Chains A and B, each alone.
Chain A
Amino acid sequence: MMPSSPKDVFINCPFDDDFAPSFRALVFAVTRCGFRARCAREMDDGSETRIDKLYRIIEESRYGIHDLSRTELDGVNHLPRFNMPLELGIFLGSKRFGDADQKQKRCLILDVSQYRYQKFISDIAGMDITAHRGSPTNVVRCARDWLATATGRKSVPPAAVVSRSYQRFALALPRLAEGVGTDVDGLIYSDYERLVIGWVREEIQPP
């Protein structure tokens, strides 16, 4: 097995337009706290199947943030989306059955409210579910607080610093997207991630 990186945080969340602000907030919070965001959207190798790519990213990530917000039926197909619970299951399986390195995995499970999961995925009862109520600001706070606790790193900035940093970045994002030649909704993941990295570097470098 590949060793997992203690810097990598696997983000497992919906990719729909409604969740996009929270997804962007998650990527920002992870990067601002000094970690590397990993997600299915980074995948671009056509020779690898999607599930193999997910296995690889999950294996390589010590930490995981899983959002189970989208359990309602899809408006078009009237079917639920199972990818997020599946990937949570792969992550938990990796931690349970993997080698000593994989057993060090830690994860945060997010939902819009704290006890809703009991109605659709009761097998994970007993685990702590954190509610973000669909707000990107709360998502940043939840991710920061959990990373600070789970990793025990003193280098994770205080919550107020990360929140302020995110608010400044979110305010500048339309202009940053303009600099790339598109708008916020048109930013592809790799470009967005690079802008976040650039912003964090600019903030933390000494004047």
Chain B
Amino acid sequence: MRCYMSGMAQKSPPPGYRSEKSGRFVTTKYGEGHPKTTKEAAPNPGRGDTSSTYLRRDAKSGEFLTPASRPGNITQGQADRIVREIYRKK
């Protein structure tokens, strides 16, 4: 995309993000072709964060699953219902 406001063409940075895994800038296009290299939700071994839950990858894409995309995530409403059912049985 170009900017003509000042009469000079300005180059926009390529779409993408800095990988927390490698520290390198990963373009969206490269990420699409190499999904295993791009996930941001990498664990933090410096504090012992190596649990299998945190490292879980999507079976199809091979990407690390972010908290928002991990299967089994529940809403507060669902949590309240689960709790209510068990709390009132006890």
A binds B: yes
What is A's interface to B at a CB cutoff of 8 Å? 14-17, 19-20, 40-42, 44, 46-47, 49-50, 70, 74, 81-84, 168, 172, 175-176, 179-182, 185-191, 194-195, 197-199, 201-203
A182 to B73, CA, bound (A): 10
Cβ of B82 and Cβ of A15 under 8 Å apart? no
Cα–Cα, bound, A184→B81 (Å): 18
Interface string of B42-63 (1 = CB under 8 A from A): 0010111111111000000000
- Asked if B12 CB lies within 8 Å of chain A CBs, one says no
User: Contact: B66 with A15, CB < 8 Å?
Assistant: no
Q: With a CB–CB cut-off of 8 A, which chain B residues contact A198?
A: 76, 79-80, 82-84
| Cα distance, A123 to B36, chains bound together (Å) | 43
| Shortest CB distance A139–B (Å) | 17
CB distance from A111 to the nearest CB of B (A): 15
Closest to B39 in A: A46
Can you list 6 contacts pairing A with B, beta carbon distance less than 8 Å? A44-B41, A82-B46, A176-B82, A176-B83, A185-B53, A194-B78
B80 lies within 8 A of A201 (CB): yes
**Chain A nearest CB, measured from B19 CB (Å):** 9
B72 touches which one: A50, A172, A181 (CB < 8 A)?
A181
Selected contact of B87 from candidates A186, A189, A199, CB within 8 Å: A199
Number of interface residues of B (CB under 8 A): 34
* Complex contact B48–A14 (CB within 8 A): yes
| Set of chain A residues within 8 Å of B76, measured between Cβ atoms | 194, 197-198
Enumerate B67-90 residues with CB–CB distance to A below 8 Å: 67-68, 70, 72-76, 78-80, 82-87, 90
Chain B positions 14-42 with a Cβ under 8 Å from a chain A Cβ: 17-18, 20, 40-41
Q: Among B46, B50, B76, which residue has the most Cβ atoms of chain A within 10 A?
A: B46
Across the A-B interface, the 10 shortest Cβ-Cβ residue pairs: A16-B48, A46-B40, A198-B83, A194-B79, A179-B82, A15-B49, A198-B79, A198-B80, A44-B67, A83-B47
The CA of A17 and the CA of B48, in the complex, are separated in Å by: 8
